[in-house]
Amino acid sequence: MSVSTRLKELLDAGNADYQTHTHATAYTARQTASAAHVPTIEMAKTVIVKADGLLRMAVLPADCMLNLHHLQWVTRSENIRLATESEFEDAFPGCELGAMPPFGGLYGLPVFCDSRLGYNEFIEFNAGTHTDTIRMTFADFKRLASPTMIDLTDHRPHHAA
């Protein structure tokens, strides 16, 4: 198991009840949900955006698309777009590119979480690699990540992650 050290320390210090899982290598949130045998509504994907030049973390269900216009309004940003991998490749030490866990506070980033994830008792997410996930209660995630809970999606399931 190759869970990010920072993440494990945060979860343990926060007395979170969590389980780690290993699955076949997967690079998209939908692939990860399938490999981990988790419903896509419970698989939380982490999307990095650049808002007025600053990185921000958005967390949403694996089968949904980020509504950038709404996030722009919420963050009061003049310019917002998806960040390129080269713009955030150094922002998540100890994590494989694209497999960062949804705890922006570990990396100095604010977290915006889609309200739909809050309807789940449990969520699962990348643990810093493309082969490891963590499953925990949404309540523990919310307590430890302190996300801004908003509607982040365009209300239509998306079939590519």
Say if CB 63 and CB 30 are below 8 A apart: yes
- What is the β-pairing status of strands 43-51 and 80-82? antiparallel
Total domain count, the chain = 1
Per-residue pLDDT of the chain (161 residues; tens, 9 = 90+): 467 788 999 999 999 999 999 999 999 999 999 999 999 999 999 999 999 999 999 999 999 999 999 999 999 999 999 999 999 999 999 999 999 999 999 999 999 999 999 999 999 999 999 999 999 999 999 999 999 999 998 755 444 44
What domain range includes position 136? Answer: 5-157
CATH code of the domain in which 15 resides: 3.90.960.10
- Between the alpha carbon of residue 45 and those of residues 78, 83, 99, 131, 153, the distances in Å are 25, 15, 9, 14, 12
| Residue 161: predicted pLDDT | 42
